[in-house]
Amino acid sequence: MTLRPEYALGHSEFNAFLFASIGEDKAGFQLTVLSAMTRLGLDAWSEAARLSNLPSEVAAQALTKTIASLPEGNWKISDAATIATRLVASLPPRGVPLASLAQGSGKLPAIKMTLPKLTFVSTPPIWLICLVVAICWFFLVSHLTASPAFEEGPQTTTQQ
């Protein structure tokens, strides 16, 4: 599985933008650009890359519309343009959405992520072995300690 560089949070050029505060929502929680875009169903990293390729004024206008579509928090709809201008300033420079673009190909290099492989062990798990031993022990003990009344058959009493 590969992870594109803009999704690598520790190294993303968009961190300053995505984790910048818009303000507090009505519940009193800090609303970041990332959480706001997530609430609106947008891919925050793709949107950040798109905005960083736009001129600052156009990016601010687009972000203003996004902020205006959010339910109001401790900001007013009229403040959306001011907030958007402040946030756009934290985007990477125009034309360089990612520092790690492949040489002239326009494709993003892939970061290789290795996931642990699930392998089935050729020997059965220890709990299965214990279960089989317990069942065998049960039948062995029950066979060896059978009731004497059943072994001798029916008892007949004779009177003399």
pLDDT at position 98, please? 47
Q: Please answer whether residues 20 and 32 qualify as being in contact, where contact means their C-beta atoms are separated by less than 8 angstroms.
A: yes
Q: Is the pLDDT of residue 132 over 90?
A: yes
Hey, where are the domains in the chain? Answer: 2-112
- Rounded Cα gap, residues 95 and 80, in angstroms: 25
- Rounded Cα gap, residues 91 and 60, in angstroms: 11
Overall size of the chain counted in residues: 160
Give the range among 15-19, 61-65, 139-143, 153-157 with minimum mean pLDDT.
Answer: 153-157
Q: pLDDT-derived band of residue 90, with 50, 70 and 90 as boundaries?
A: confident
Residue 96 CB contacts under 8 Å (≥ 6 apart), including other chains: 52
pLDDT at position 33, please? 87
Task: State mean pLDDT over 21-32.
Answer: 82
